Amino acid sequence: MAAKTTASTSAATSNWDDELRLIPGYDPFDGSGASTFDEEAAARAIGFFADCLTHVKGELAGRAFQLEPWQRSIVANIFGWKRLDGTRRYREALIYVPRKNGKSCLAAGICLYLLFCDGERGAEIYSAAAERDQAALVFDVAKHMVLSEPVLAGACKVFTKAIAIEEVGSTYKAISADANTKHGYNTHGVVIDELHAQRNRDLVDVLLTSTGSRRQPLVIHITTADYDRPSVCNDKHDYAIKVRDGIIEDPSFLPVIYEATREDNWTSPETWQKCNPNLGVSISAEYMARECQRAQDSPSYENTFKRLHLNIRTEQDVRWLSMAKWDACGGPINPDALVGQRCWAGLDLGSTADLTALCLLFPDTDEDVYRALWWFWAPADNAYRRERRDRVPYVTWSREGLVELTDGDETDYRHIRQRIGEIAERYAIVDMGVDRLFQGAELCQNLADDGIDVVPFGQGFYSMAAPSAEFERRVNRGEILHGDNPVMRWMASNATVRMDPAGNIKPDKQRSTEKIDGVVAAIMALGRAMAREAGGGKRSVYEDRGVRVV
């Protein structure tokens, strides 16, 4: 593709140094080594956007794609820096920018430049995402850009899901996260869109390894912030931070990070400007002010606003428990001092390959608090897999005595029965709430045979709403003392709730970011304590014989 690839007049600049240093906190000249900056190559790439591409959506539709200064800096750095052999210096980049800052248009333009102007025969270009619809967003923008420019359209064939230059055997396609089908790829360039949505790192790893036989491959990750959890997005962000700050020396990685910090005033327009480089262009100050006010009026939206519009890594999408309030409930608890004391129990039985959690709540009527102790069990084989795959430190917690690992890849109910029996000998368990519909009915019967008063506990709003609200209230008031248990802090940070039309809440395992079994066990224990206290310590007839329907 030779036509229209020379730089436009607007692309020329008298001071490339300042333009290249527009990337926040990063100086590409530090650690550049033997790489040099090719002004002509940078100008040619910037000129491609202005001369060959037009916007295809919104108010700018039909106008030439004039890169904003922050976008010019990215394009100039990626395509201008060269190694001694003339190939690109940068082989991987993270573009970490909040929503509505024009990421899709920039990504589409980069993919088209790689396809038409990079001089790579048989190039395979991909835009990838966790879901097919998301992957198609960048591709559809690129396709309409091509169809809007006769020179580009005449140099290729445009299909529903591909753009092909048949004379050199090059293609551009959109792909989704089925990594098993991607092992035959020979990738020259790929943009992975919304990295935070990747369920695991399989697709990223497959695409990175598929570039091995190319002269100058390019992998670009474009994303907003993820939740505060183990993920490939957070791994890539942490790596980019270390490259940006000079902790890791990797001259082939370009870290483009626009974000606010948790210490910034998230309601301030100055903070909005800091992390939204296209503020006033593709995203208006009026829109930001409106969304910020919504976040202030609705706490459930606050984390969404911070994560999507300020790139602050947050605990979860819909916050239930404030981690500041949770941490304030810390402080040491001496299990030996609780021996023989009255308590209520909740047992959340995991599936045969998952976590099981037991919580004991000890009331202190003088201080109006509950002291909580937890025990966790998990199959060892599954725990090792989870630590390797998801970086959840089950094995570390096991070494610290916080999680007990049972042999094999399935839950050992016999071991759990034995351990609960030992626990019941130390502490005066009044009764134990257990999910009445769970498959561990045999274990529950065995525990009852062992002398433990096992009470079926429903997981619907009817049973869970009151103790869930009380649990939240007590956490906020510092009345659930948890002894700074790190497993429980992780679970509390994962927890989100479902609300019914009447405003009742209950923990939602499906929507929570990770495991919340310990939270559920604590709520069941609290529910049993509330039921006994409300009834003056008497057991309900319905608990003895069940509810009879006429």
DSSP β-bridge partners for residue 96: 223, 257
Question: Across 242-340, where does the E strand assignment appear?
Answer: 253-257
- The CATH number of residue 373's host domain is 3.30.420.240
Is pLDDT of 436 > 70? no
Does 353 share its domain with 247?
no
pLDDT at 183: 67
- Please say if the pLDDT value at position 91 is more than 50: yes
Tally of CA atoms within 13 A in the half-sphere of 420 that contains its CB: 32
| Cβ atoms of 24 and 245 closer than 8 Å | no
Arithmetic mean of pLDDT, 287-309? 86
Statement: residue 539 has pLDDT above 60: no
Could you tell me the end-to-end alpha-carbon distance of the chain, in angstroms, rounded to an integer? 80
- Asked if 413 contacts 443 with a C-beta cutoff of 8 angstroms, the reply is yes
369 and 501 share one domain:
yes
Do 383 and 448 lie in one domain? The reply is: yes
Per the domain annotation, does 9 fall within a domain? no
Q: How confident is the model at residue 546 (pLDDT cuts 50, 70, 90)?
A: very low
Strands annotated E in 288-366: 342-348, 356-364
- pTM confidence score: 0.62
Contacts of 265 (CB under 8 A, 6+ apart): 271
φ, ψ of residue 321 in degrees (nearest 5): -95, 125
- The H or E element containing residue 428 is strand 428-435
CA 425/CA 320 separation, integer angstroms? 35
Instruction: Give the CATH number, domain containing residue 98.
Output: 3.40.50.300
Q: Confidence band (pLDDT; 50, 70, 90) for 509?
A: confident
Q: How far is CA 456 from the centre of its chain?
A: 35
The DSSP H or E segment spanning 158 is strand 157-158
What is the distance, to the nearest Å, from the Cα of residue 450 to the centroid of all Cα atoms in its chain? 43
Radius of gyration from C-alpha coordinates of the chain: 28
CB atoms within 10 A of CB 548: 6
CA dist list (Å): 4 to 51, 80, 151, 490: 6, 18, 8, 54
493 and 411 inside one domain: yes
Q: Give the pLDDT band (50/70/90) at residue 292.
A: very high
* pLDDT category of residue 505 using cuts at 50, 70 and 90: confident
Q: Name the residue among 376, 391, 402 with its Cα closest to residue 520.
A: 376
Helices H / strands E in the chain, number of each = 20, 19
DSSP assignment string, 467-497: HHHHHHHHHHHT-EE-TT-HHHHHHHHH--E
Query: Are 454 and 371 part of one and the same domain?
Result: yes
pLDDT at res. 409? 82
- Whether the pLDDT of residue 548 is over 70: the answer is no
Name the pairing type of β-strands 218-223 and 157-158: unpaired
5 part of a folded domain: no
Whether 177 maps to a domain, the answer reads yes
Note whether 454 and 508 are same-domain residues.
yes
**pLDDT surpasses 70 at 181:** no
pLDDT at 500: 76
Residue 227 pLDDT more than 90?
no
- Do residue 353 and residue 461 come from a single domain? yes
Q: How confident is residue 61, by pLDDT bands cut at 50, 70 and 90?
A: confident
Measure the CA–CA gap between 509 and 497, rounded to whole angstroms: 8
Cβ atoms < 10 Å from Cβ of 56 = 20
> Helix H segments across 21-172?
39-52, 69-80, 103-117, 132-147, 150-154
Taken as a whole, the chain contains a residue count of 550
Q: Give the H/E segment covering residue 387.
A: helix 380-390
pLDDT tens digits for 16-33? 999 999 999 999 999 898
Look at residue 14 in the predicted model and tell me its pLDDT.
47
- Residue 1 forms part of a structural domain: no
Asked whether residue 213 falls in the same domain as residue 307, the answer is no
Q: Does the structure show a pLDDT above 50 at 5?
A: no
Asked if residue 493 is part of any domain, the answer here is yes
Alpha-carbon torsion, ordered 139, 140, 144, 145, to 10 deg: -40
- How far apart CA 525 and CA 482 sit, in angstroms, is 14
Asked whether residue 333 falls in the same domain as residue 397, the answer is yes
Q: Say if residue 276 is in the same domain as residue 339.
A: no
Of 46, 47, 55, nearest to 75 by C-alpha is 46
- 257 against 227, higher pLDDT: 257
Beta pairing class for 189-193 and 218-223: parallel
**357 plus 498 within the same structural domain:** yes
Residues 64 and 24 in one domain: yes
Cα 173 from Cα 103, distance rounded (Å): 18
Whether residue 404 has pLDDT greater than 50: yes
Residue 275 pLDDT level (bands cut at 50, 70, 90): very high
CA angle 322, 327, 331 (to 5 degrees): 155
How sure is the predictor about 439, in pLDDT bands with cuts at 50, 70 and 90? Answer: low
Whole domain around residue 416: which residue ranges? Answer: 324-545
Question: In total, how many domains does the chain have?
Answer: 3
pLDDT at residue 219 is higher than 60:
yes
Q: Please state, in angstroms and rounded to a whole number, the distance separating the CA atoms of residues 452 and 358.
A: 14
pLDDT confidence of residue 299: 63
Averaged pLDDT for residues 476-505: 88
Q: What strands lie across the sheet with 218-223, from one edge to the other? A: 157-158, 162-165, 170-175, 124-128, 189-193, 218-223, 92-96, 253-257
